[in-house]
Structure 1
Amino acid sequence: MVDPATNPAPSRAGNAARICTILAFAFAVIALFLVPLLFGLIAIVLGVIAATQGDKPLGWYAAGAGAAGAIIGMILGAIVYSAAS
């Protein structure tokens, strides 16, 4: 039998934070290919929300991934644009 005092069930806030983290990572990947500033910013905001709601390490990693996705996406867009012209 599981003792709730030693192994509590995850709270709603914990679940919401984890969902924000997953969405932040997904938007960071999308930012590599489509509208990097928009999707990168969304990933950063969701990562910060997740980190402040309790998913500390992964939330901050997701925010960092959003920033990296935005920067790399802009670099890739500049490379593709310069190669096409």
Structure 2
Amino acid sequence: MADMHATARPRSSAARICTIVAFVFAVLAIFVSPLIFGLLGVILGIVGAVLGDKPLGWYAAIASVVGAVIGAVLVAALLN
């Protein structure tokens, strides 16, 4: 019998590490530098999703975008 899930990649530890670091960068994007950490978080979230950590990797990428937007709003509010 052929395996029906042969095209799905198994989750690797590299995928999980990329996803966790993307969530950390999402938080850092709020407090430190929205542009740098937001962009790095999106990239690592996508890499984590492609490597096999599908739902959590995409959530990390979205969290990084949200963190970058919140961080940019906070920077704009503090500078005005």
The one-character-per-residue Cα deviations of 1:24-74 (angstroms, maximum 9, x if unpaired) are: 000000000111011000000000000000000000000000100111100
**Aligned position for 1:27:** 25
Number of equivalences: 71
Q: Secondary structure at the match of 1:32?
A: helix
Query: Following TM superposition, where does structure 1 have runs of at least 4 consecutive aligned residues deviating by more than 3 angstroms?
Result: none
Which fold has the larger relative contact order, with Cα–Cα distance below 8 Å and residues 6 or more apart in sequence?
Answer: 2
Specify every segment of 5 or more residues in structure 1 that has no aligned partner in the other structure, as ranges. 1-10
Structure label with greater radius of gyration: 1
When the two chains are superposed, the root-mean-square deviation of aligned CA atoms in Å is 1.1
Structure 2 residue runs of 5 or longer lacking an equivalent are: 1-9
Residue of structure 1 equivalent to 2:46? 48
What TM-score comes out, normalization by structure 1 length? 0.80
Q: Aligned residues: percent identity?
A: 55
**What is the TM-score when the length of structure 2 is the normalising length?**
0.85
**Structure 1 CA distance, aligned partners of 2:24 and 2:79?**
24
